[in-house]
Amino acid sequence: MKKIILLLVLFIPFFAFSDTYEDVAGASQMVADEFSGFWDFFFEDIPSIITDLFKFLMETALEVKLFMMIHFVKASWAIAKEMIESLQIMSTIAANVNLLPQDVRQALVDMRLFEGFNLIVQAYVTRFVMNQF
């Protein structure tokens, strides 16, 4: 396999074409080509490099912002969860439900009103904590 590749490289001609500069016209063409190269560098390459740099910076800033938001949400959820556990909402509701008459208490339990109230209070506590970040 190595010999085949070597033979292909040796026997297939690879041409390199370049400009030839002759006499005064060739010299002036060479100078014009150099100025054209400088012009392309300053007015095409540098602006495209700056554009690519700003794209990279914006993408990186967005990634950092999303990373920070995810971690802030995780931290605020942990704080809200701790607050909900320390408030003991359901135990307070259960203690006050015992003061109601039996039929009213049973109707409210069947409607799952206390669980709904518990969820609403938890949602408000979570929203309050997450708005602080």
Do the domain assignments include residue 9? no
In this prediction the pTM is 0.57
Say what angle helices 89-97 and 46-87 make with each other, to 10 degrees: 30
Residue 125 falls within a domain, yes or no? Answer: yes
Number of C-alpha atoms within 13 angstroms, CB side, residue 115?
4
Domain for residue 1, yes or no? Answer: no
Residue 15: inside a domain: no
- For residue 92, tell me if it sits in a domain: yes
- The answer to whether 75 and 133 are in contact (CB under 8 A) is yes
pLDDT tens track, the chain, 133 positions: 888 887 777 777 666 666 777 888 888 888 888 899 899 999 999 999 999 999 999 999 999 999 999 999 999 999 999 988 898 888 888 888 888 899 998 998 899 998 898 899 999 999 999 888 6
- The total domain count for the chain is 1
Query: Residue 126: inside a domain, yes or no?
Result: yes
Write the Ramachandran bin of 88: left for phi over 0, alpha for psi from -120 to 50, otherwise beta: left
In a domain, 13, yes or no: no
Domain of residue 42, residue span: 25-132
* Structural Rg of the chain based on CA atoms: 38
